[in-house]
Structure 1
Amino acid sequence: MATPLPAGLTTGTYDLDPSHTTAAFSVRHAGIAKVRGTIGVSSGTITVGDDLESSSVTAELDAQSVNTGDAGRDGHLKSADFWHAEENPAWTFASTTIRPDGDAYIISGDLTINGVTKGVELETEFAGTAKDPFGNDRAGFEASLEINRKEFGLTWNASLETGGFLVGDKIKITLDVSAIAKA
């Protein structure tokens, strides 16, 4: 059975707008605080079919563009201790299925970080459509997921004197997406 598209979303191809799309992450540091950062979105495409089942999403993020507000930490994240950004300059996502989940949607797909690909699910909300001042038709989405960094080969850590470890295993990733319909 075909699942209808969200009200207001029309069929076609939409390109992610890197200047208006944000990919952010947070991870526990020393078990007591969260470190937050962003990674630049290089490109992506949302193909909206006649129904959810015939729709798809791809995205590429620039691992070299990590920004946590601390140049030393950013350099460490790009290093071989974490995501080997020189060898693996992109994080990629390609959807496999899209299904409704109440008022939201679950986009399942393959996420590649550090050269390791794992299946993930993005909890996604359709934020609506708008025509911008330049005549572009836009669609907006918000998505989130949580991954275990060790599953992607991100295993570097340091023991704390008081017990536990410096870097938490769970990483929360959020995406605020603005996409422009191709003419």
Structure 2
Amino acid sequence: MATPLPAGLEPGTYVIDGSHSTASFTVRHAGISKVRGTIAITTGTITVGEDLESTSVSAELDAASVNTGDANRDAHLKSADFWNAEEKPVWSFTSTSVTEDDGNYVITGDLTINGVTNTVELPTKFVGTATDPFGNVRAGFESELEISRKDYGLTWNAALETGGVLVGDKVKISLDISAIKQA
């Protein structure tokens, strides 16, 4: 049985607008504070079918675009200690299914970071649609998930004198997406 689309979302191809979308992350530092940053979404397509089963999502992010507000930390994150952005510059997500569970949506797919691919579930909220002043139909989506750095081969760390480690393993990823429907 086909699962209907969310009310207000029309079938078609939507291109993610990188200038109005955000991919951000949060990770614990020294166990007592959080470091936040963003990574640019370089390309992305949401193909909305006649139902959820025929809907798909794909996106690429630029690992070298990391911005935490500290140039030295950003350079370290781009290095081989972490993301090796020079050799593995593209992070990607390709959906394998889109489902609905009691009014909430789950986009299951393959997330590749640092050359390592794992299946993840993105709990996703459809925010709605709007027509911008230029006549573009935009669709908005929000999603948050938590991943383990270690699952993506990101194991660099430093022991603290007081016990524990400098960089937490759990990373919270937040996505705020604005996508423009193509004619």
| SS class of match (1:151) | helix
| SS class of match (1:77) | helix
1:102 Cα deviation after fit: 2.1
Structure-2 residue corresponding to 1:88: 88
Measure the CA separation in 1 of the matches of 2:28 and 2:36.
Answer: 9
Structure-2 residue corresponding to 1:13: 13
Structure-1 residue corresponding to 2:114: 114
Cα deviation per residue 1:127-162 (whole Å; 9 max; x = unaligned)?
000000000010000011110000100000000000
Structure-2 residue corresponding to 1:52: 52
Structure-1 residue corresponding to 2:166: 166
> 2:90 is aligned with what amino acid?
A
TM-score for the superposition, normalised by structure 1: 0.99
> 2:180 is aligned with what amino acid?
I
* Structure 1 consecutive aligned stretches of length 4 or more whose deviation exceeds 6 Å: none
Structure-2 residue corresponding to 1:132: 132
> 1:43 is aligned with what amino acid?
T
> 2:101 is aligned with what amino acid?
D
Measure the CA separation in 1 of the matches of 2:101 and 2:23.
Answer: 22
Structure-2 residue corresponding to 1:77: 77
> 1:124 is aligned with what amino acid?
T
1:101 Cα deviation after fit: 2.1
Q: In the comparison of the two structures, how many residue pairs are matched?
A: 183
Structure-2 residue corresponding to 1:36: 36
Measure the CA separation in 2 of the matches of 1:81 and 1:150.
Answer: 13
Stretches of structure 2 that go unaligned for 5 or more consecutive residues are none
Structure-2 residue corresponding to 1:22: 22
Q: Percent of counterpart pairs with the same letter?
A: 72
Measure the CA separation in 2 of the matches of 1:115 and 1:101.
Answer: 31
Measure the CA separation in 2 of the matches of 1:82 and 1:10.
Answer: 40
Cα deviation per residue 1:76-101 (whole Å; 9 max; x = unaligned)?
00000001000111110000011112
Measure the CA separation in 2 of the matches of 1:102 and 1:60.
Answer: 29
| SS class of match (2:151) | helix
| SS class of match (1:7) | coil
Measure the CA separation in 2 of the matches of 1:40 and 1:12.
Answer: 24
> 1:22 is aligned with what amino acid?
T
Q: Do residues 143 (structure 1) and 143 (structure 2) align?
A: yes
What's the Cα RMSD here? Answer: 0.5
TM-score for the superposition, normalised by structure 2: 0.99
Cα deviation per residue 1:61-80 (whole Å; 9 max; x = unaligned)?
11010000000000000000
